[in-house]
Amino acid sequence: MSEAAKKRLFTIQAKLLEAQKEIQHVEKSSRNPMGFDYTSIDSMVRAARQVLHNNGLVLSCKGWSITSNLDGRRVMSGKFELVHPESGGIEVYETEIPYPAEGRAEDKQYLGRQSSALKYLLRDLLMLPMLDNNEICAEVDKPEPKKAAKKSTRKVPAKDQAKQELLDAVSEKFEVKGKAAIDKTMGILKQLELPVDGSATEDHLREALAHVKGIG
């Protein structure tokens, strides 16, 4: 590496350090269906963009791709560039996140995975505190805009029903309740390599439920 290249690298890293010092943390301004506060993607992007720009840095996305890894599981990969225009310094970052084969409509799933991947990248880039198990951090399925009220009984969504059944099964099997039950459920989802960021589908939750019921 030339001296000029080293200088550009040190400059961009020094600017990133200042951004990390400035941001410190991002408020948990949203609440997920399980009742826990979490940092939304909108809050993360606003906070990150502010401190990066304050220090003369620009983060841009260069593209997304969906591929299969060696285990046959689909993953979404994103490529980003962190640029310090004044010095010409550039650093390239790549982020990867599981991409379920089934679930929500393709467009919602695609955007949801992008949001989760970007959030993890910003968290790591700015060295923000790690998320605890109770923070189901990605954008959870948001309710559809309310339509004109109809005089009919609304059924509980299948995914919500599966989620409750899974929590009940974990509580009964492991004799835990409340936060402990949620922590245990998150651990089981991770063990099965299923989404733990709000993008889990009904099928994912049913798979975890079958696993719990099959534990001797």
Predicted local distance difference test score (pLDDT) of residue 17: 94
Q: Would you tell me which CATH number, out of the four given (3.30.390, 1.10.10, 3.30.1560, 3.30.70), belongs to the domain 3-125? A: 3.30.390
Cβ atoms of residues 78 and 117 within 8 Å: yes
What is the average per-residue pLDDT within 143-165? 59
What is the per-residue burial (b if ≥16 Cβ within 10 Å, else e) of 27-37?
eeebebebebe
Per domain, the residue ranges of the chain are 3-125, 158-214
| Number of Cβ within a 10 Å radius of residue 86 | 12
Q: Which of 60-64, 96-100, 145-149, 178-182 has the lowest mean pLDDT?
A: 145-149
> At residue 131, does pLDDT exceed 90?
no
Distance CA 138, CA 64 (A): 18
Predicted local distance difference test score (pLDDT) of residue 36: 66
Distance CA 124, CA 127 (A): 5
Coil/strand/helix, residue 95: strand
Tokens read off for 141: 């399925």
Tokens read off for 119: 């959030």
Question: What distances in angstroms separate CA 94 from CA 51, 79, 91, 97, 98, one per listed residue?
Answer: 21, 5, 10, 10, 14
User: Which residues neighbour 44 within 8 Å (Cβ) at sequence distance 6 or greater?
Assistant: 26, 118, 119, 122, 123
Vertex 85: Cα angle to 83 and 88 (nearest 5): 80
- Give the number of residues written for the chain: 216
Of 80, 79, 40, give the one whose Cα is nearest residue 57.
Answer: 80
How much of the chain exceeds pLDDT 70, in percent?
A: 80
Distance CA 7, CA 2 (A): 9
How much is the CA Rg of the chain, to the nearest whole Å?
20
Predicted local distance difference test score (pLDDT) of residue 108: 77
89 pLDDT tier (thresholds 50, 70, 90) = very high
What is the average per-residue pLDDT within 179-206? 77
